[in-house]
A and B are shown apart, each in its own frame.
Chain A
């Protein structure tokens, strides 16, 4: 369904992605792990055409994104939903307006139907009754849940999550994990999650890819990754810094 072919991206002299290739099948839940600043979010943005690679291409159902202009990409993106690291809610709008944004722009549903759909999806993310609040009135976890509601309200085929649990306490992180699993189960979506939260990765992944030094270093099931004896993978998933590994 989604195929990344030899993606390369540099910012100035710093090469962030150095030939990333992988594919994701329909209905799969894939988690991409890797160090902070290692290019995971850049990779995610390339998958949806928000950033273009310097080299390589992304194919969605065999169709390359590289030769499309912004307006053509908008059509492709309507198949995607994305939860941003900081939720990226429109701060001039209420929760209800944020979640119903796409439905109102499409204009296919009546105002009552839009409100009904927004209420349903807010109920799904356990935020019923918060329709009139502004993003500034919400906690970090609530903002992420509204961001998720906005990403799934138009029933996309693929949902991308950029660090969904970063900056949240363990209880709220757990609730976000449960939500991601609920979305996969109820909406049968393909999901790609970028995270360095290992507990979250283990819970939501069917397959884990590890990004290391600009390349996919390893690719396997959660059990394979967490039991790996490879020193780089072992250190990362168990949170052991180099200094500690050398006994300092």
Chain B
């Protein structure tokens, strides 16, 4: 039992160390090597454009359900018109970035781990190394850069669609006065709420891509290994996003809102 615990802790610390080394390599590569623009553009298309439907549906239905639940509670205390303010602050600083990140982790993080894992088990990564191409420069940097770039845009879309969907539900389904609904939203939503959301989502983007790349590059041999790497990529990045979100909320709220 003690040996098992010791090995688990040792593996965990080794994994964290390896991810830290990979992050160092990525930063080094950004300064030392030429960015492969063609791959970067393709990754922006794959990660950004292709994730839109998932993100938009998530944003819209999250906004709608949040609006309905808030209205049901606020209606009891005659605060109906504050509904959209709650939706916009929640979507901007919490639900928008977190749910977008979780959806992208499921779609993109898994795809990155599976693709790099397959490349590893079919010796394509070794082939890259023999062709004098560093896997971090050629495979990791375009994926991490693209994910970090598109996450704020995807999150902005999710927030905008969520608020719009909530407005439509509030006005046309729940019968809230539209003027007061908008007015209260503007009154209680600060630019710092959105800024917190965009800082968070950028960090989440880096987490998704780095974990996906790390799991792919260290994938065990065989189809089973690729399967494990893909699953672990989604699980670890999702857990890391949720934990990081808590600490970022505390830190950023103190820094930006002084609370």
> B-contacting residues of A (Cβ < 8 Å)?
45, 48, 50, 70-71, 73-75, 77-78, 80-82, 84-86, 88-91, 101-102, 105, 150-151
Contacts and interface: CB of A to CB of B under 8 A. Distances in A.
B132 A74 contact: yes
13 contacts: A45-B126, A70-B129, A70-B134, A71-B134, A80-B130, A86-B122, A86-B123, A88-B123, A88-B124, A90-B128, A91-B122, A105-B131, A105-B133
A84 B123 contact: yes
Contacts, number: 51
A78 B123 contact: no
A84 B127 contact: yes
A70 to B, nearest CB: 6
Q: Which of B124, B126, B132 is most buried by chain A, counting CB atoms within 10 A of its CB?
A: B132
For chain B, the bracket of interface size reads: 10 to 19
B138 to A, nearest CB: 8
Contacts of B130: 48, 50, 77, 80-82, 151
A82 B130 CA distance: 7
Contacts of A90: 124, 127-128
Contacts of B127: 82, 84, 88-90
A78 B124 contact: no
Nearest to B34: A107
Interface string B105-132: 0000000000000000011101111111
Contacts of B128: 90
Contacts of B133: 74, 101-102, 105
Interface in B45-95: none
A85 B132 contact: no
Contacts of A45: 126
Nearest to A160: B130
Interface of B: 122-124, 126-134
Contacts of B131: 77, 101-102, 105, 150
> Which of A74, A77, A81, A151: most chain B CB closer than 10 A?
A74
A85 B134 contact: no
B239 to A, nearest CB: 29
A77 B129 contact: yes
Nearest to B121: A86
A181 B13 CA distance: 50
A175 to B, nearest CB: 22
Contacts of A78: 132
A69 to B, nearest CB: 10
Contact of B122 (A81, A88, A151): A88
A24 B140 CA distance: 36
Nearest to B33: A71
A84 B132 contact: no
A80 B126 CA distance: 13
Contacts of B123: 84-86, 88
A156 B54 CA distance: 47
A187 to B, nearest CB: 17
A188 to B, nearest CB: 20
